[in-house]
Structure 1
Amino acid sequence: MPRDALSLAETRALAALQGLAVGDALGMPAQTLPRSEIAARYGRITGFIAPFDGHPVSHGLSAAQITDDTEQTLLLARRLMSTPDAFDDAGWAQDLLDWEAGIRAKGLADLLGPSSKRAIEALLAGTPPEETGLRGTTNGAAMRIAPVGILEPAKPARIAARVARTCRVTHNTGEAIAGAAAVAMVVSCGLDGMGFDAALDPALAAAREGQTLGNPVGEPDMAGRIALSLTLAQTGDPEALLAQIGSSVASRESVPMAFGLLALGKGDLWASLLMAANIGDDTDTIGAIAGAMGGATGGSLPDTAISAVEEANALDLAPLASALVTLRDAA
């Protein structure tokens, strides 16, 4: 469908998925590496590049290819569309296991994260789904939550509840739910035509709602961590963010970092995603989260970058975005 035939919500939904994929692909060759090694291996990443031979996670991938962040986002979108009025915990767990089996069959190493893996194994061993994710504080929920933001109207309590229900199998903690709820809220606000700055207060409200819905382990105040990151971004220095926020797989670091880098970019989404690619550690996930929020709230990317990622991964995102918006309109 031509872009000029899409509604605003469809345009923003598509941009969210495209931004997520671009941020993921930019960060792919640097994921898990400290900043010093990124600089030693690549200099400064300024576009899509292949990982070095023997990369601990990304080996076997080519320039502009995506990782688990985008693939699990699309997996969740399809699961949500298959049962829009409910959520099948066992079906979702099987989706993730089948996905991982496919990755292994390709000889790739970007597999399920630690929280997801432990939780799914517990579920299959008979642990109730309400209990399997009670220790999951990593960013697996936030990295793939954009479809919930596309699907759900921009109401903090409703977003938080849907996020909690969607991620309870793997990330049923206040830290993870709050972080993912903040991300989903920004995406949802974007579909209503809001910019990033205007979406921040609703996002913090959603984080506070989400904080109360999961097991109280890990970070007790994700809204405060995000607010701190936004304050630090006012210095214009990514080093200040890195020093006080961090960029690990923990939700308390990667989610606020994504917010901070978007604020640093001041509307230049490409600049924000390049900062994510060079920030160190969980570069692909930080880029994916920032790309989803930035795309949804009107940030633009070079058409050549979008085309490169779509072609390298055989992605056709427009039908999926439109289908999710249709469900949003029905809700």
Structure 2
Amino acid sequence: MVSIACISPVPAPDDAVGPRDRARGALLGLAVGDALGAPAENMRPSEIRARWGRITGYVAEHPCGTDDTEYAIFSGLLLARHGSALTVAHAEAAWHQWIADRDEGPFRGAGFSERGTLENLRRGLVAPISAQHRHAWSDGLAMRAAPFGVFAAGRPAEAARLVAVDGSVSHDGEGIYGGQAVAAGVAAAMAGAPAGVVVASALAVVPDDSWTARCLRRAVAVAHHGERAVRSAVVIGGYPWTDLAPEAVALAFGAYAATDGDFTEAVLMAVNMGRDADTTAAVAGALAGATRGASAIPPDWAAAIGPARGTCLPSMKGHHVLDIAELLTPDESAKWAPGPAGVRDSYVLAADEEEVRP
């Protein structure tokens, strides 16, 4: 059995997708999926059909990313500052500096896990105790996990390690596993791995008997039957909360697997399944964008994505996901350096000395 702890770049023709295009595709794909899925959040497929028929593009007059995009930017800046040297203390300090200790608010659109974390930090609790709230199992880490896969391209295990460091401030258990699955999947896709290896990479970094792994396996097993089968395989009927990490991550990977990583089809399938549609479409978009590159994203969808508006996180206002992609892939010649701390990691660590700030 071939190890997927480190995945070598897949040899490709001269006109194939390059590492920087994959990075831009992953983060722009996240933002596009987020904006496409936002209007359908918390809806059932029948409700989506009654209102729009089948969603095939933006249905909002002024599409934009939600907290999913803004928190992904937050994690991207954190990672650009510290690189592979990231610690829990770094992550906790960033939460205070950029979120908890600021007067701005009211953090519109923030999920339950983020609000619980914010409250705990403001009460003086520290990580990992800051993650001890009712929604530590949410998809709030999964939605911001893609930057770790971009940074640790071809190294799913390292991507999973780093995202868990970030997530320890806000999540626990299945919430951490969901983030690790997404980060590892994006890391594999960044190396040009086929869809099956991307899924296997995600499964390899979470406990085999976890709720996340079971849901992911069920979703992928029935993916060839389409969105209704995927949804039925993982959604808990009648459960009111749609931000369960095992469910959201499985729906996203199911959409990705069903469409073999086709960007447009994967994102639209995630959107039209409803539930936490902005997050599932954001994750599917990150996976497919890393697989196919930014050039696979419809130009009109990409053009609608501007700098973050700071609706949820005022400190992220003005940052664009494509800028984060550049920060995390500074030198293509160093991109595929072997080992857990190559030239590229040294570059990112050097950026810390220049105080990368929002």
TM-score range, shorter chain: 0.7 to 0.9
The TM-score, its normalising length taken from structure 1, stands at 0.82
Alignment map for 1:307-318 (pairs within 5 Å): 307-310=303-306, 316-318=320-322
2 CA distance for matches of 1:98 and 1:255?
Answer: 31
1:141 offset after TM fit, Å? 0.0
Unaligned stretches of 5+ residues in structure 2: 1-13, 237-241, 310-317, 336-342, 346-358
Candidates 301, 323, 338, aligned match of 1:319 = 323
Match of 1:21 in 2: 31
1:29 offset after TM fit, Å? 1.1
Moved more, 34-43 or 275-284: 34-43
**Aligned amino acid, residue 273 of structure 1:** V
1 CA distance for matches of 2:183 and 2:118?
Answer: 23
Backbone CA RMSD of aligned residues = 2.8
For residues 267-303 of structure 1, the C-alpha deviation after alignment (integer angstroms, 9 at most, x for no partner) is 3221121122221221111000110011111262212
1:249 aligns with 2:248: no
Candidates 292, 295, 305, aligned match of 2:286 = 292
Pair 1:199–1:103, CA change in 2 (3 A): same
Pair 1:93–1:241, CA change in 2 (3 A): farther
**Aligned amino acid, residue 242 of structure 1:** R
Match of 1:158 in 2: 158
**Aligned amino acid, residue 232 of structure 2:** A
Match of 1:39 in 2: 49
Does the residue aligned with 1:83 lie in a helix, a strand or coil? helix
The TM-score, its normalising length taken from structure 2, stands at 0.76
Tell me if the contact between 2:32 and 2:305 (Cα under 8 Å) persists in the aligned partners.
yes
**Aligned amino acid, residue 257 of structure 2:** A
Percent identity reads 34
Tell me if the contact between 2:307 and 2:321 (Cα under 8 Å) persists in the aligned partners.
no
**Aligned amino acid, residue 16 of structure 1:** A
**Aligned amino acid, residue 325 of structure 1:** T
Candidates 209, 220, 227, aligned match of 1:238 = 227
1:272 aligns with 2:266: yes
Match of 1:303 in 2: 299
Match of 2:74 in 1: 75
Match of 1:125 in 2: 123
- Larger helix share, 1 or 2: 1
Candidates 86, 91, 105, aligned match of 1:88 = 91
Tell me if the contact between 2:100 and 2:121 (Cα under 8 Å) persists in the aligned partners.
no
1:222 aligns with 2:212: yes
1 CA distance for matches of 2:193 and 2:262?
Answer: 16
1:92 offset after TM fit, Å? 2.0
Unaligned stretches of 5+ residues in structure 1: 51-61, 212-218
**Aligned amino acid, residue 154 of structure 2:** A
Pair 1:311–1:133, CA change in 2 (3 A): closer
